[in-house]
Structure 1
């Protein structure tokens, strides 16, 4: 179970990331946002197809990575101004992102198998 402190913020990186990377690669992406990966905040990364997500954070004792792959649908990113590299999300938005729920409509995205359109 993951418990975040009251002062811990969650940031979503808005550019897609290669999910083959682990601790060091993701920390490098945080630095390019720019941000400090050792600040204790959580940084979310999503791949280009928006079906894979990794969260990176440092909790004073070491690095941690949470990973999730949606079986259906895609992760939705918050709407922001063009050129924005990261955005902070609140706990409610984080829960919706992790569940694959549309942030604007507050409903689960439709999923169609195999391109049949059904």
Structure 2
């Protein structure tokens, strides 16, 4: 791959599962959880899961041909998850995901990055 080349996976929707996932889960287990929680793994969608402690996250992405399973761990602190949300899933905007993966309170970010909750 040429230097500076970008690797982009198309993602149209980003969904966060409110129930924790065992971080030992591999692609098949994570895919089974996506199907259980969301009904199906739709093409061009990303599905986010955290562990019980909230310091690790796994993301399953269906790129239209197969699935990608990515992991992220915070060295300090926790991800601000959807603990007080009603239901088992929440759709996130790209701005909210950027805040979430940095360990910031994404719930405060509204459309176009506007702060909507104090």
Work out whether the TM-score is over 0.5: yes
CA shift in 2, pair 1:104/1:28, >3 Å: closer
Question: Separation in 2 of the partners of 1:35 and 1:2?
Answer: 28
Give the alignment partner of residue 60 of structure 1, picking from 61, 64, 71: 64
The aligned counterpart of 2:48 is 44
- The runs of at least 4 aligned residues of structure 1 exceeding 2 Å deviation read 1-5, 78-81, 103-106
TM-score normalised to the size of structure 1?
0.77
**Larger helix proportion, structure 1 or 2?**
2
TM-score normalised to the size of structure 2?
0.77
**How many matched pairs?**
103
- Structure 1, gaps ≥5 residues long: 107-118
Q: What is the CA-CA distance between 1:65 and the residue it aligns to?
A: 1.3
Q: CA RMSD in A?
A: 2.0
Q: Secondary structure at the match of 1:33?
A: helix
Q: What is the CA-CA distance between 1:2 and the residue it aligns to?
A: 5.7
- Structure 2, gaps ≥5 residues long: 1-5, 110-118
Question: Separation in 1 of the partners of 2:78 and 2:43?
Answer: 29
